[in-house]
Amino acid sequence: MTKLRCDRTILRVERRSITKDSSLIVYDADRIVEPDYRLFEPEYWRQQGGLAGAAIGRGSAWFLETPFGSAVLRECLRGGFPARINRDRYFFTGWDKTRPVAEFRILEQLSGEGLPVPEPLAALARRRGLFYTGSLLTRKISGALPLADLMVEKSERPRLWRRTGRCIRRFHDRGVVHADLNARNILVDLEDRIFLIDFDRARIAPGREDAYQRNMQRLKRSFQKLWPRAIAGRMQPCWEDLMAGYRDGGTA
């Protein structure tokens, strides 16, 4: 049992794990009563009528309706050139170092501290000889869409861009280094609240200003790549608003 502080509320997360058949499942026992490998199989949820949709990108994601609420199931997959050689296998060096388990634990820590991230539900690492595959199950953020899909709609909303910058600054002030900060890994909900997702390979490294700046450079490159041509002239003002919020800090 771990206790994590979130502003004025103590979040009680009963984390448990089971190891069977060269596999490990780490899960939130307050929400998942009977952990099973089937929880990580899209076909199982399809048969149960709980498969609500999918978003296929670098990491395949399925949207689920489950007995423990709306959830997102994501496989650990490589992107780019490495994916041509090996899409889903990683070298095994210990359970704690597997990517889904590490991501579960950093999400557990950050959500417990009140940072806007998906709440972790369960992680699976399945060993196969020298390698392993993995999946992560998180709570779905209701009504949220990627910032990349809202650029046209939100391009005249300077407060939103400043709020986005302030949100990112909160993570950097906490020492969080996101491994792939881009406009698709920033979500905006129906109330214009900002969340960060996809903490695969993220780490907590206080004081690493060089790493935080690389985060921001990567984010700007994603803006340049994804920004709609129809509103090309709005990109720089929106980016400047975002950076103004980042410099100001505060809460998002």
Digit-coded pLDDT (tens) for 72-129: 999 988 655 454 555 678 999 999 999 999 999 999 999 999 999 999 999 999 998 9
Q: How confident is the model at residue 9 (pLDDT cuts 50, 70, 90)?
A: very low
HSE toward the beta carbon, residue 90, CA cutoff 13 A:
20
pLDDT band of residue 4 (cuts 50, 70, 90) is very low
Placement of tokens 């002239």 in the chain: 233
Mean pLDDT value of segment 232-242: 98
pLDDT-derived band of residue 250, with 50, 70 and 90 as boundaries? low
Question: Is the per-residue pLDDT at 216 higher than 90?
Answer: yes
pTM here is: 0.88
- pLDDT tens for 118-171 read 999 999 999 989 999 999 999 999 999 999 999 999 999 999 999 999 999 999
pLDDT attached to residue 56? 61
Q: Mapped to the 3 state alphabet, what secondary structure does the chain carry?
A: CEEEEECCEEEEECEEEEEECCEEEEEECCCCCCCCHHHHCHHHHHHCCCEEEEECCCCCEEEEEECCEEEEEEECCCCCCHHHHCCCCEECCCHHHCHHHHHHHHHHHHHHCCCCCCCEEEEEEEEECCEEEEEEEEECCCCCEEHHHCHHHHCCCHHHHHHHHHHHHHHHHHCEECCCCCCCCEEECCCCCEEECCCCCCEECCCCHHHHHHHHHHHHHHHHHHCCHHHHHHHHHHHHHHHHHHHHCCCC
Catalytic residue numbers read: 180
Neighbours of 43 (CB within 10 A): 9
Structure token pair of residue 128:
């196969």
Average pLDDT, the chain: 88
Most distant CA pair in the chain, distance: 56
pLDDT value of residue 105 = 95
pLDDT for the residue 169: 98
pLDDT attached to residue 89:
87
Place of tokens 């070298």: 91
Residue 60: the pLDDT is: 74
Mean pLDDT of 179-201: 96
